[in-house]
Structure formats: structure tokens, C-alpha cells
Amino acid sequence: MDAFTTQQTTELVSRIGCKKAHMRLDKLWWNSFMTGPLLGFGCAITLSTETAPWYQDNAPGLIRTIGALFFPIGLVMIVLSGSDLFTSNIMFMTTAFLHRRISIIDLLKNWVISFFGNLAGMLFFMAIITGYGGVFQMAVYKTETINFATMKVVDPGWHQIFLRAIGANWLVCFAVFISISSREIASKIIAIWWPTATFVALGLDHVIANMYFIPMAIWNGHPQITTGYYIWKSMIPTTLGNIIGGGLFVGVAYWYLYLTGEGDVEVDFNTGGIGLAMEAGGPMGRTSQNDKNVIEGQDPIEEKVSHLPHSGGNMTSGISRELSADKYAKRKG
């Protein structure tokens, strides 16, 4: 099983949070700003796909699920480019703070800058690319943007939006979490795709995604939603729910399960090691020195360096330099 263990993944989440806490503020702002349009592409294609009047009337669950299958492209681009998404930063910074690697000031500073950076980038994308660009200028698209926002903001109660937001960022942060456990690109994309599609298919609320959906409806002349109504009825409960969903149910939960009372956690970045396969299947107790195409098993008594078969030489992942223990594994206090 070529993946980091859950404990190693939680350790990496903590190190990533520590790294983000040391990012220059101007870079954090622009990295957050660029995140808005990346997620905006996923939001826009979801709206475009769900603009299907017959399906909305006769099979609303089906068309919402189909649209949800396209949304994760936004989160895939964000994760693979290392962009700063406020809702995933909730998990990163909470874990690093609980692990005593950053201060509460570091946490709040990151959250505030990434939140408003995401907002600025998303509004730029909404207004310039899809607004003035006329992506949704046809009447059928305008109707869908207004109906979508009504379903998100007008119809549900404040407490319902808050509770839906807990579920949304629980799934988003879990998607990012398991993508970190993956060692190569294809696995990361698969890991991100399905939890993210699930939250969209269920109609849960994500504060950064709603920064596209709701302003787009306002842009197209929604008769009930104003800026103030959007902030009170959607942005505030969604933000609070997302903090609980990502911070408590992922950040706090996995920190408690895998980092408390465990001492220092070693992370092996060597892509040729069999330690993780051994953990999953137990000692193989066999060796092969002659045939290089089969696994060199690890003797359970003697300490040996063993490797899984691979197409080239042993390699160390570049992430080992980015998230080395020497740089980001030290704790405060």
C-alpha cells in the first residue's frame, strides 16, 4: 500500500500548517486570491451543468449529482497547486496549533487573510470572467443562478445552513486529508474527487463556493437577496459551520487520535520503502536476492533495508524537502 499511514498523514497536516504560518503575508494574500478563481471554475461548471430545466422538474436529485461530479476540478487544482483555501486551512492551522507548532495569532492571521483573499479572488472571477464575460447571460442560465441561490439562502433556515456547513467542510477537509496520504498525482485526484462530489450532491454549504453562487445571483438581479442578507443568512452561518466541520471533526479528531501521547512521528518519504506495506499486511518473512522483479521481503528478526519493486531507482519525494522534520516538526513550549 503506497500511502502514508493515518498517523503520518496527520503529522504532515501539522507540518503543512506550520509551513503556512511562516508564509510571507503578501504571498499568503495572493496565494489565497488565486484560489478563488480556481474554485470558481468548479462552481461555474456546476451551475452550467445544472441548467437543465426538464431534469430540475423531473429528476432534481439526478441532475444535482451529475453537476456535483464536475465540481471537484476546482479543489483538485487548488490542492495540486498548493493554493490557500480558507476552509482547508481550518484543518491545517487547527492541527498545527493543537500540536504546539504555531500560536493562536498565527492561526487567526492565516484564517483572516485566506478568507478575504479567497473572497476577493472569487468576486474577481465572478464579475470579470463570468459576469462581464457573459457566461450566464442567456435567460435559462440566469434563471438557474437565481433558483440555485434561492435554494441556498432563502429557503433554508439559519440553523439549517449552519448544520449543512458542518457537513460540507467535514467532507472537504477529509478529501484534502486523504489526498495528503497519497504519494502520487492520480491517487490524490481520486481521493479529492469523491468526498467533494458528495458534499455538492447533498446540497451542503461551503462558504468559499457560496462566494460565487450567491454573488452571481445578485449580479443577475435576484429579487430577494441583497449583500446584507447574503452576509447574515449565508456567509456567517456557513463560516461558523465550516470552522466546526473542518476544525473539530477533522483537525481536532485526528490530532487527538494520532498525535496525542505518541511522541515524535517519523515520516518516511522514500518512495521505495515497504514500511507501509508491511504495516498493512504484516511481515512477509521472505527474501529474494536474485530476482529483482519480486518483492524483497523484510526479515522480522534481522534489520534490513527492503524495497518494493519499481520501474527505476529508489527516489525520495520532493515533499520530503518541503516538509522535513528539521524545518516544521519542532514544537513551541
Q: What is the pLDDT of residue 327?
A: 62
Q: Would the pLDDT of 282 be above 60?
A: no
Least confident range of 12-16, 95-99, 171-175, 260-264: 260-264
Q: Is 333 exposed, middle or buried (0-12, 13-18, 19+ CB in 10 A)?
A: exposed
Cβ–Cβ under 8 Å, residues 158 and 230 = no
3-state secondary structure of 197: helix
Distance CA 171, CA 193 (A): 11
The residue-averaged pLDDT of 41-57 equals 97
**Grid cell of 35 as nine digits:** 484560489
Q: What is the pLDDT of residue 1?
A: 54
Average pLDDT over the chain reads 87
Q: Would the pLDDT of 125 be above 70?
A: yes
Which candidate, 143, 126, 129, 87, places its Cα nearest to that of 211?
126
Q: Would the pLDDT of 132 be above 50?
A: yes
For residue 286, name the pLDDT band (cuts at 50, 70, 90).
very low
Q: What is the pLDDT of residue 268?
A: 77
Q: What is the pLDDT of residue 204?
A: 98
Cβ–Cβ under 8 Å, residues 104 and 97 = yes
Report which residue type is found at 37: P
Q: Would the pLDDT of 85 be above 60?
A: yes
Distance CA 165, CA 245 (A): 7
Distance CA 169, CA 238 (A): 9
For residue 302, name the pLDDT band (cuts at 50, 70, 90).
very low
